[in-house]
Amino acid sequence: MTTEGLTTLIPAEKIAVRVAELGAEISRDLVGIVELTVVCVLKGAFIFAADLVRNLTVPCRIEFIRASSYGTHRSSSGRVMLDHHHDWHVEGKHVLLLEDILDTGLTVTRILEELRGHNPASLRVCALLDKPSARATPASAEYTGFTIPDVFVVGYGLDAAGRYRELPYVATLNA
């Protein structure tokens, strides 16, 4: 489907099915834990996180971390800035980091380094999208929604210069 300069890559229905599968898989893997600390990476993962946590059957606490590297450019600046509340509960907790997309891998690497510094009991990454061919550093997720080619995508939380986050589907921008 092509709408106003966008071409749908992953329709909303397909995302919903996959997010439910991820929720079931993560819940199965973590069954029996007292509490899961979900860390949502802002801004891009906010919609993914909202949908995913409603598909988890383990008790959750939800925290947020803000990461920025892109500015208004479509390629990573290579410098990742982090911002989070200092009173978050990560020490001794089972942590699930939720990312919108693994691209160069720099953001997730930087956040994992930060989280490890707070001594979590366990640390897992779940990314809605993965662009493995764009890696600048080795990085991977225990759980991945969709593997996509090295194309710039928007929608379902992902933006281009602040736009398109509200789209219920993932789309590519037409040239």
Tell me, by CB under 6 A, how many residues bind ligand IMP. Answer: 17
C-alpha 76/C-alpha 53 separation (Å) is 28
C-alpha 40/C-alpha 44 separation (Å) is 9
C-alpha 173/C-alpha 158 separation (Å) is 12
| In the complex, least distance from residue 36 CB atom to ligand IMP, rounded to whole angstroms | 21
Give the footprint of ligand IMP on residues 65-124 (CB under 6 A): 69-70, 76, 99-107
Binding segment toward ligand IMP, per CB under 6 A, in 16-24, 26-34, 84-92, 152-160: 152-160
Question: Which contiguous run of DSSP H or E holds residue 112?
Answer: helix 106-116
> What are the backbone angles phi and psi of residue 97, rounded to the nearest 5°?
-90, 125
In the shown chain, the binding pattern of residues 19 to 58 toward ligand IMP, with x for contact by CB under 6 A and - for none, equals -------------------------x--------------
> Of 149, 169, 165, 172, which Cα lies nearest the Cα of 42?
165
29 is catalytic: no
Residues that bind ligand IMP (CB under 6 A): 44, 69-70, 76, 99-107, 152-154, 158
